[in-house]
Amino acid sequence: MSSVQNEELVKKAVIVADDLAASGKLNPAQSDKFIDYVVDETVLKDNARIVRFRNEQLDIDKIGVGRRAAVPKSEAKDPSVRRGITTSKISLVPKEIMVPVEIGDNFTEINIEGEAVEDHIIQMFARRLANDMEELYVSGDKLGPAQIEDDIYPGGSTTQYIKDGYLALANGWQELANGGNVVDAANQNIGLGVFGKAIRAMPTKFRRNKGALRWLMSPDLSQLYTEKLSTRATAAGDAAISGSQVTPFGIPIVEVPLWDLNPLVVEHVVLNGTTAVQLKNKDITSVVVLPEDLLKTPTTPYVDGTDYNLDAAAGTIARDGGGSIGDGDTVKVTYRAKPQVILTHMSNLIVGIGRDVRIEKDRDIFAGVNQYAITAKVDAQYEELDAIVKGRNIGDGV
């Protein structure tokens, strides 16, 4: 087993249909190789700390020495002060996710690849699982955004909404960053001004080694900044045109493929009387308002101007006294926000992936299909919230 190359091991011992273990549970070597595979398929490689665990919860201990340890020293005299350490911990609580797949006999028979198509499809779903994991790490929100049913379950309603139960599994880095240092760009376009504000908002002790810091942003926001640089008749402009890595203030930009230019945001808001409530973001779009307890039942959203009154530019919402929203009701507000950026140390991003990975195969002889299920446990956290800066309400122009 040790002589098999990583790629061959992944293909042969992990995600090839005929070689799946009878129990479905991968052995430790297979699990590690599978985890390597899903990490290599995402932006996490070289930009986050990957923690592998087996227990239902993994606690990571943190240790510090406070703000200052040194005290004045007098000759032959005890300073009468002792410094201690501070300890705390963060917890990774695994959330179980599954990729359920069915492959029909007819499809296998008429496909040009024949039976080999199943191996190909399982590998495709393994790559898809890697992308879905990344989506949860980045965009997860326990409140659960409202989504058109057909966008989650093809064939569902194209006008009614359900709760996105997958993104509701855990808070991802975008949501967790709201507990760090937040900078409002006030619609200023991406550029050195925005980057400078973010750097100044980070405590100095966390920005000594700028090469270890990372700007996390959507590919489109990175492209806007590159286009801005390319208009300059400077060496930086030439480098931007040639595709060289852009490093504002010496900090590399990491494009996160599954991070939208206008990220999806969900808030639960209590509407009392007809008083306007300020949302986290301004200049919001694609706003949909639904009951707080939205679940899997397709639901028609409330109507702006009838049930509530929205000022999208100001980012405020108020109950309309003549509508269906009761006084004191809590509503789920899902919307698209202006571009955002996160600045943090790459070791501050923690991804937990359980080693108990399962890839199981079964057959429904009556339906004539082979069934596969890839199951894994995942979670994401920051080690130090104070080492995060989130810039929001960034302009989307050059």
pLDDT of 297 over the 90 cut: yes
Supply 103's token pair.
């492959």
337-360: average pLDDT = 89
Going from the C-alpha of 308 to that of each of 114, 125, 290, 322, the distances in angstroms are: 56, 42, 11, 9
Supply 352's token pair.
């937990």
pLDDT of 245 over the 90 cut: no
66 vs 126, higher pLDDT: 126
pLDDT of 86 over the 60 cut: no
Give the pLDDT confidence score for residue 28 in this predicted structure.
78
Q: Which residues on adjacent β-strands are paired with residue 64?
A: 86
204 vs 367, higher pLDDT: 204
Q: How far is 303 from 352, CA to CA, in rounded Å? A: 41
Q: How far is 351 from 53, CA to CA, in rounded Å? A: 11
291-300: average pLDDT = 97
Q: Is 78 exposed, middle or buried (0-12, 13-18, 19+ CB in 10 A)?
A: exposed
Residue 7's SS3 state is helix
Residue 330 neighbours by CB distance under 10 Å: 13
CATH 3.30.2400 range(s) for the chain read: 6-56+92-170+347-385
Residue 32: name the closest of 57, 55, 54, 59 by CA: 54
231-239: average pLDDT = 59
DSSP state of 395: B
Residue 327 neighbours by CB distance under 10 Å: 10
396 vs 159, higher pLDDT: 159
∠ Cα 60 62 67 (to 5°): 165
Residue matched to tokens 């209590």: 270
Q: What is the dihedral of CA 119, 120, 126, 131, to 10 degrees?
A: -170
Supply 354's token pair.
């359980």
Residue 200: name the closest of 185, 221, 216, 178 by CA: 185
8 Å CB contact between 307 and 289: yes
DSSP state of 240: H
Q: Beta strands 349-354 and 388-392: pairing type?
A: unpaired
Range in 3-7, 78-82, 292-296, 335-339 the model is least confident about: 3-7
34 half-sphere exposure, CB direction, 13 A CA radius: 30
Supply 152's token pair.
């989650």
Query: In this structure, is the dihedral angle defined by the CA atoms of residues 138, 144, 145 and 150, taken in order, positive or negative?
Result: positive
8 Å CB contact between 133 and 166: no
Range in 39-43, 92-96, 178-182, 249-253 the model is least confident about: 39-43
Give the pLDDT confidence score for residue 21 in this predicted structure.
42
pLDDT of 12 over the 50 cut: no
pLDDT of 300 over the 80 cut: yes
Quick: pLDDT tens for 161-207. 999 999 999 999 999 999 999 999 999 999 999 999 999 999 998 98
**352: pLDDT confidence band, cut at 50, 70 and 90?**
confident
Q: Beta strands 388-392 and 181-184: pairing type?
A: parallel
Quick: pLDDT tens for 35-83. 887 788 777 777 888 888 876 777 776 654 455 667 677 777 777 776 5
Give the pLDDT confidence score for residue 13 in this predicted structure.
32
Give the pLDDT confidence score for residue 10 in this predicted structure.
35
Supply 161's token pair.
């909404």
Q: Beta strands 86-92 and 308-311: pairing type?
A: unpaired
Give the pLDDT confidence score for residue 44 in this predicted structure.
73
Give the pLDDT confidence score for residue 232 in this predicted structure.
61
**19: pLDDT confidence band, cut at 50, 70 and 90?**
very low
8 Å CB contact between 168 and 139: no
Q: How far is 212 from 44, CA to CA, in rounded Å? A: 14
Q: Which residues on adjacent β-strands are paired with residue 213?
A: 345
pLDDT of 8 over the 50 cut: no
**366: pLDDT confidence band, cut at 50, 70 and 90?**
confident
Give the pLDDT confidence score for residue 244 in this predicted structure.
62
**7: pLDDT confidence band, cut at 50, 70 and 90?**
very low
Model pTM score: 0.81
Give the pLDDT confidence score for residue 6 in this predicted structure.
38
Query: Could you say which of 1.10.3470, 3.90.320, 3.30.2400, 3.30.1490 is the CATH number of the domain covering 6-56+92-170+347-385?
Result: 3.30.2400
8 Å CB contact between 167 and 145: yes
**Percent above pLDDT 70 for the chain:** 81
Supply 119's token pair.
């191996």
DSSP string for 107-134: HHHHSTTTTHHHHHHHHHHHHHHHHHHH
Average pLDDT, the chain: 83
163 vs 101, higher pLDDT: 163
Give the pLDDT confidence score for residue 243 in this predicted structure.
61
113-138: average pLDDT = 73
308-329: average pLDDT = 97
Q: Which residues on adjacent β-strands are paired with residue 182?
A: 390
Give the pLDDT confidence score for residue 229 in this predicted structure.
85
Pinpoint the alpha helices (H) of 213-328: 219-230, 235-242
Residue 226: name the closest of 209, 212, 201, 243 by CA: 243
Going from the C-alpha of 155 to that of each of 27, 119, 125, 166, 370, the distances in angstroms are: 38, 27, 21, 18, 22
